Structure 1
Amino acid sequence: MMRNKRKCVCALFLLVITTVTIFSITRSDLYQSTLEFPVATNKERIVPTLPPPVDKYVDQLLRQNNSKTDFVDDSPAEDLKRKIRVLCLILTTKQNLLTRARVVNATWAKRCSMYFFVISFQNNRTASSQNNITDIIATPFKETREMLVYKVQYALMYVYNNFIDQFDWVLKADDDTYIIMENLRYLLSQYSSSEPGYLGYHFNMYLQNSGYMSGGAGYVISNRGVRRLAEFGLTVDGACPITKSYLIPEVSEDFEIGKCLKIAGVPVLGSVDSLNRETFHPYPISQYLLESLPEYLYEWSNNKPETGVDCCSAFSISFHYMKPGLMLLVDHLLYRTLVHGRGAGKDPRNAFKTGEVKDMKTPKIIINGV
C-alpha cells in the first residue's frame, strides 16, 4: 500500500512538472527596491525579460506583503526564523536581474533574514550609485566564470565588515538555486553558529579529509566560520592562492572557497538526514525523479546519489538549475497547496463554503424547456 502511494505521488508530481513548460524564463520591473540601472545604448544587447504571464504572476507575489499560507500554523517556522538568522548571498548577473533574480526575489529570498544579490559592475560611477541600495552588493569584477571566486570573496568580506553581528549563518546560492529556508533553519538548529562549520552538498574531491561543497546547490557557513575565513584566510597574503592544476581546468568558485575554509580551520558538517538522504541537491528535482543525473556525480559525491521516489530527503533544502517556471511551480506547491490531514493547522471544516448553491448567475444562453 505504501509503495503504491509513493508511486501515485511521484506520478502526480511528474505530471505537474511536465506542465512547467507553460512558464519559461524571461520580463521586466525588477523587485520592490528602488534599484536603477544605466540606460542601455543601441549597441548594448537587449536585456532578457520574463514572458508576460510569468511576469504577471511574479508581480502578484511581489505585491503581497503577507507570505503566510492559509489554514497553516507556521509558528514553529517563525520561531526558528527569529532564533536562526540566515543572511543570503545570491549570485546573479546584470542580464539575469529581470529574470532569474526577479523570481528568486519573489519566492524564497524573502524568507531569508537578510539577503543581497551579488552583481558585477564595471562602471565605477554606476557601482557607487548603488551604495544606498541595501539588497545589492556591487563587485568590481568581470562577469566571467573565472571571476566568480573573487565575486564571492568580495561579498563574504563585505558582510564580514558590515554585518558580522547581524547573522548566525551565511548562505551562498545562485540565481537558479531554489532554497526551502524553513528546512535549512531546521537543519541549522542542530548546530551552533558560534562554532566554525560549513555544510552543503558534499563533493569529496581534490581536498583530502575535507572535500568541498557544490556551489550551485548552495552552501552555508556559520558566523564563526565566516570570521575564521576572513581573519585566517581572505585577509592573509598568500594564505589562499588560486589553485592551478591540470586536474582543475578552470577556476572553480566552490572549490576555492572550500579550500580556503579548510586552510582557515573551518570543518565540514553533515547535512544528510537520518535515512542518509541528501538535503542539498546540485540538480533540479526532475532529474532526481527521472533518474537522469550525470555520471560524474556518482564519482564526486561523498554520499552515493539516489534517484526515484527515495531520491531526496523529506526535509530537502535546495535544488539547482531551476528555471523560473519550475521555481514558481515548486514554490506554489510548497506554500499555497495543502494535503488534508498532513499539516493543516486550522479546523478543516472552515476551509470550504458548504451548502446548496443558490446565488447562481443567469446563463448567457438558455435552452428552452430544460
Structure 2
Amino acid sequence: MKANFVWMFIALVVVCVGTYFFKTLPWNDHALPWKDHAPLEMSTQQQTTETDAQSVVEPDVSARQAAEDTQPSVEKVLALRLLCWVLTGTKTSRVYGAAIMATWGPRCDKLLFMSSEKDEADLPGRVSLRGVYEGRPQLVAKSRAAWTHVWERYSKDYDWFLKCDDDAYIIVENLKLMLYPHPQTKPIIMGRKLRDGYIRYMSGGPGYVMNRPALELLGNAIKTGCMHSDNVHEDQLVSICLRMMGAELREGHDARGVHRVMLLTPELHLNRGMIVRTDYFWTLKRVIGTEHGHLETLEGPSCCSDLAVAFHYVKPPMQRVLEFLIYRLQRFGERQRTVVMKNTTSELLEN
C-alpha cells in the first residue's frame, strides 16, 4: 500500500512538472509544414518585442506617444502611400463592394478588390485571381494569390499595404496617423493582435497592414513554400510566415493604450452586455482568452480609441451610416470640417 502511494506521488510530480514546461514553451516553428523552406529561428529583437495578446505595452510606446502629442501635420500624415486590398467573393462583391466604393475605399491611394475569376462584379480595381475558387476553405489560396499579385506589381509604389474583409469599415486618415510614427526601414505588421493557442497573429477581418520591407519578406516567403497549409487560417499564416522571416508584430493601440482596430461593429462594442449574447463571444473568448468579466475592456464608451481605425462585420447600410456620422454630420457652432479625398478616379480604375 505504501509503495503504491509513493508511485502515485511520483507520477503526480511528473505530470505537474511536465505541464509547467509544456505551457512555458513558445510556438514551435519547427513543426510547421514548410520547415525546410524558411528560416525558423526567431531573432533576438523579435523575442524581446513580442508581447502578450492582451498587453498594451510596447517598446516604442513613448516614441509613438511623443509623435502623436506633437500633432504631425495633416499633409505629412496623408503623404503616406497606402494600398488597400479587399478580400471579397461572388456572393458579396456587388453589394459590399459598392458600399466600399461609396464610403471609405476612395480614400486609399490604391484600392483593389481581390476575387476569383468567376466573379463578374463591375468594380473598379477588381482583380480576378487565376486558379482560385470561392468558399471559405479557399481563403488561404485566395490570400496567397492576392499578396503575390500585390508584391509583384506594387511593392515599389506604396509605403503600406492593407488587407481587410469586405465587411470592414476603415477610417483611412486615422490609419495613416497610426502608421506615421513607425519606421519604414524594418519589417512591421500592425493591427489587432489575437492568440489562438500558441499562435499569435493579426486579425484579418478588420484588417492588418504591413510596410514595404514586410511585404518583401512575405512575397519571398510565399515563393519558398510559406502559406501553403490548409490547416491554419489565412491571417494566422501571414503572421506566422512574417514572424519566421524576422518581421515584428505590433499592436495598433493609441497613445493611451486603447485599441484602434476593433473586432466587431460599433453597436456591439459601445453597448455593454451585447457581445455576450452573440456567437462572437465564444470566438473572442478563445482568441483573446477572456472570461465574462474581461469584456469590460471590449464594451462601453472606453472600448475604442477616439482615433479608431477599423470596425468589422459592418453591413453596407451601416457603412453608409458611419460615413455620414464621421464625415458629414456637424454640430452647430463647431468648426467646419473638410473631407480629404486624395486619389484620382484614373488611379482607382487601374489594375
- The TM-score, its normalising length taken from structure 1, stands at 0.64
The answer as to 2:284 corresponding to 1:287 is no
Give the counterpart letter for 2:169 in structure 1.
Y
Q: Separation in 1 of the partners of 2:118 and 2:94?
A: 19
Selected match of 2:127 from 137, 140, 144: 137
The answer as to 2:211 corresponding to 1:217 is no
User: How far did 1:141 drift?
Assistant: 1.0
Contact 2:144/2:227 (8 A) holds in 1: no
User: How far did 1:94 drift?
Assistant: 2.2
User: How far did 1:345 drift?
Assistant: 5.9
Structure 1 runs (4+) deviating above 6 angstroms are none
Counterpart in the other structure of 1:234: 222
- Quick one: higher RCO (CA 8 Å, sep 6+), 1 or 2? 2
Q: How does 1:73-88 map to 2 (within 5 A)?
A: 76-81=73-78, 83-88=79-84
Cα 1:274/1:80, change in 2 over 3 Å: closer
User: How far did 1:298 drift?
Assistant: 4.2
Counterpart in the other structure of 2:88: 92
User: How far did 1:295 drift?
Assistant: 4.0
**Consecutive unaligned residues in structure 1, runs of 5 or more:** 1-74, 245-250, 347-370
Q: Separation in 1 of the partners of 2:82 and 2:255?
A: 23
Q: Separation in 2 of the partners of 1:185 and 1:341?
A: 28
Counterpart in the other structure of 1:317: 309
Q: Separation in 1 of the partners of 2:212 and 2:183?
A: 9
Give the counterpart letter for 1:202 in structure 2.
K
Counterpart in the other structure of 1:32: none
Give the counterpart letter for 2:322 in structure 1.
V
Counterpart in the other structure of 1:300: 287
The answer as to 2:108 corresponding to 1:112 is yes
Give the counterpart letter for 2:108 in structure 1.
C
Instruction: Calculate percent identity across the aligned residue pairs.
Output: 27
Q: Separation in 2 of the partners of 1:197 and 1:274?
A: 18
Counterpart in the other structure of 1:260: 241
Describe the SS at the equivalent of 1:170.
Answer: strand
Q: How does 1:121-160 map to 2 (within 5 A)?
A: 121-122=117-118, 135-139=125-129, 140-160=131-151
Q: Separation in 1 of the partners of 2:213 and 2:333?
A: 41
Aligned length: 255
Q: How does 1:178-217 map to 2 (within 5 A)?
A: 178-207=169-198, 211-217=200-206
User: How far did 1:267 drift?
Assistant: 1.0
Describe the SS at the equivalent of 1:255.
Answer: helix
Contact 1:89/1:115 (8 A) holds in 2: yes
- The TM-score, its normalising length taken from structure 2, stands at 0.67
Contact 2:107/2:172 (8 A) holds in 1: yes
Q: Separation in 2 of the partners of 1:225 and 1:234?
A: 12
User: How far did 1:306 drift?
Assistant: 2.4
Describe the SS at the equivalent of 1:256.
Answer: helix
Cα 1:276/1:341, change in 2 over 3 Å: farther
Give the counterpart letter for 1:186 in structure 2.
L
Contact 1:120/1:141 (8 A) holds in 2: yes
